[in-house]
Copies of this chain bind each other. A is one copy, B any other.
């Protein structure tokens, strides 16, 4: 097997430089690459384009990189939880491209699956369709949307092995597997890194071929956005 293990976040992101395009996994604050984000903030790399379903909250997730003004452009589907984001957007400091969530996911998958473009009905007849090719199949209109072209994908998994294989836990899976497939260089941080051979080949969500670097993350905060509970009756 090919060994993908690196020492940690700093080594993993060593060649992420100003102006690069990054995909970041996660939905809300669930399943985000916390260690990579912290390392990017520490490194101070700038003018990034970030493809991520959400933009974090004011003081966590991608929000940390917005605060330090490291992000030039966000490509997201929903950014409703971040006041600093909204401020930068309304002031024109931040470019934002909002696209449907399924389109976001499928454009990642298209990159990982070597499909240059896909068709989706999402956004037909709306401002999302402006400037895009529309095509009718079987009486229904679809937009043609292009595969993403990202320099790096930063994903977070539950378990991984030195061969780069990843297993996700619960709904922290979300965008992580499709982004892992889509990066030119994919960096995976995991809660538990094991030796090749310790994961069941049938249960691997992302095969190691898609992962270029893997490291065991630390100090995971795994913040909860909406702590909803029910009383014990």
**Which residues of A are at the interface with B, using a C-beta cutoff of 8 A?**
106, 113-121, 137-138, 140, 142, 146, 167-170, 173, 201-203
Residue A115 contacts which of B119, B138, B167, B169 (CB distance < 8 angstroms)? B119
- Are A170 and B115 in contact, CB atoms less than 8 angstroms apart? no
Chain B neighbourhood of A202, CB < 8 A: 167-170, 173, 203
A138: B residues at CB distance < 8 A: 116
Contacting pair B120 A137 (CB below 8 A): no
Q: Are B116 and A117 in contact (CB under 8 A)?
A: no
Distance (Å) between the CB of A13 and the closest chain B CB? 27
B118 touches A137 (CB 8 A): no
Question: Among the interface residues A106, A142, A170, A202, which one has the most CB atoms of the partner chain B within 10 A?
Answer: A202
Within the assembled complex, what's the spacing in Å between the Cα atoms of A119 and B114? Answer: 9
In the complex this chain forms, how many copies of it are found? Answer: 2
In contact, B120 and A142 (Cβ under 8 angstroms): no
Q: How far is the CB of A80 from chain B (nearest CB, A)?
A: 26
Report chain B residues within 8 Å CB of A201.
170
Ordered nearest first, which 7 A-B pairs have the shortest CB separation? A116-B137, A203-B203, A116-B119, A115-B119, A115-B118, A117-B119, A116-B142
Residues on the B chain within 8 Å of A142, using CB: 116
A170 to B137, CA, bound (A): 36
Least CB distance, A34 to chain B, in whole angstroms = 20
Within 8 Å by CB of A117, from B137, B140, B170, B173, lies B137
Chain B contacts for A169, CB-based, 8 A: 202
A117 CA to B137 CA, complexed, in Å: 9
| Chain B residues, Cβ within 8 Å of A168 | 202
Chain B hits for A119, CB < 8 A: 115-117
A169 to B119 CA separation, bound complex (whole angstroms): 32
Closest beta carbon of chain B to A21's beta carbon, Å: 16
- Cα distance, A142 to B115, chains bound together (Å): 9
* Residues of chain B contacted by A203 (CB below 8 angstroms): 202-203
